[in-house]
């Protein structure tokens, strides 16, 4: 097991790396052109900015923990290790970035076997660095953060993500969204799952749900939510949310009420 002292040092260095990648992304956005966009699949966009940011991150993480493997969105390094693996989304919210919508982030998590032990999400435009390590609480720019104290769904604001490439469950999803909208203060779609999770952790929204996500979208944010006092599960209430492609994160108090509401429509 990794020591608290070593994990704390890794967390500090990972924040620096995330901010370096964020600075690169911010500079490139100033003169970015749409003709630099590539398509990985239907509405699944990528640019040289994603790829270069990932190369920067992988290179620097390799220096601070040489024995670790990688799970990366853009495939810069896909060699996984038995004990430690970095899980990286170099630009979460690529579509927002491409269109100039100022909500996108860098997401970096460290997994020790099957457990996330470190998470950093850097929101590039607001210069907000959210971070946590296992057992150490959650923070934003050195200020400790906590989930909201709202007790019911009816007094809550819920974040979500809309289907953009897999539309098999779109009718069920819209039914679930309709129910959530009627039961809460409303729904928001920010366009970066990593940011959504951090907003739950910071008490800005009470919950977040989405399906068809990948590990690199959520790994860092899930730890930040839990260390801020929140709860994260899959839609059935289980723990398969990093690799299970469905996630519900809340302030804990509204979790079961929200989960049952979603289950009625998404099961």
Residue ranges of the binding site for Mg(2+): 73, 89, 91-92, 217
C-alpha span between 10 and 207 (Å, rounded): 29
In this structure, are strands 138-140 and 157-160 parallel, antiparallel, or unpaired?
unpaired
C-alpha span between 250 and 208 (Å, rounded): 6
Q: Which of 53, 65, 63 is nearest to 27 (CA)?
A: 53
- Angle in degrees, CA 158, 101, 47, rounded to 5: 115
Supply the DSSP symbol for 244: S
Q: If 0-12 CB within 10 Å is exposed, 13-18 middle and 19+ buried, where does residue 95 land?
A: middle
Helix axes 255-266, 170-183, angle to 10 degrees: 150
Spatial contact of 139 and 145, defined as CB atoms under 8 Å apart = yes
Spatial contact of 58 and 77, defined as CB atoms under 8 Å apart = yes
Q: Taken in order 52, 53, 58, 64, is the CA torsion positive or negative?
A: positive
Q: Which of 45, 20, 42 is nearest to 32 (CA)?
A: 45
Q: Which of 153, 154, 144, 92 is nearest to 123 (CA)?
A: 92
Query: Which residues belong to the annotated binding site?
Result: 73, 89, 91-92, 217
């Amino acid at each position: 097991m990794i020591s608290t002292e070593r994990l704390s040092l890794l967390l500090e260095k990972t924040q620096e790396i995330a901010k370096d990648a964020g600075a690169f992304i911010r500079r490139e956005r100033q003169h970015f052109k749409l003709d630099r966009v590539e398509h990985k699949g239907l509405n699944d966009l990528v640019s040289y900015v994603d790829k270069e940011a990932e190369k920067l991150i992988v290179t620097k993480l390799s220096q601070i923990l040489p024995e670790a493997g990688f799970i990366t969105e853009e495939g810069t390094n896909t060699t996984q290790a038995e004990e430690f693996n970095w899980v990286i989304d170099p630009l979460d919210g690529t579509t927002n970035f491409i269109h100039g919508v100022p909500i996108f982030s860098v997401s970096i998590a460290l997994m020790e076997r099957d457990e996330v032990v470190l998470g950093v999400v850097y929101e590039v435009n607001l210069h907000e660095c959210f971070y946590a390590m296992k057992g150490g609480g959650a923070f934003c720019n050195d200020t400790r953060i906590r989930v909201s104290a709202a007790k019911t769904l009816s007094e809550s604001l819920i974040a979500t993500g809309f289907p953009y490439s897999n539309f098999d469950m779109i009718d069920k999803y819209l039914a679930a969204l309709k129910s959530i909208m009627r039961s809460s203060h409303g729904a928001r779609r920010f366009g970066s799952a990593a940011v959504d999770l951090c907003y739950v952790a910071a008490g800005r929204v009470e919950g977040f749900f989405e399906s068809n996500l990948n590990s690199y979208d959520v790994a860092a944010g899930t730890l930040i939510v839990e260390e801020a006092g929140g709860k994260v599960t899959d839609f059935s209430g289980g723990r398969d949310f990093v690799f299970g492609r469905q996630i519900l994160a809340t302030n804990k108090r509204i979790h079961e009420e929200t989960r049952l509401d979603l289950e009625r429509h998404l099961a």
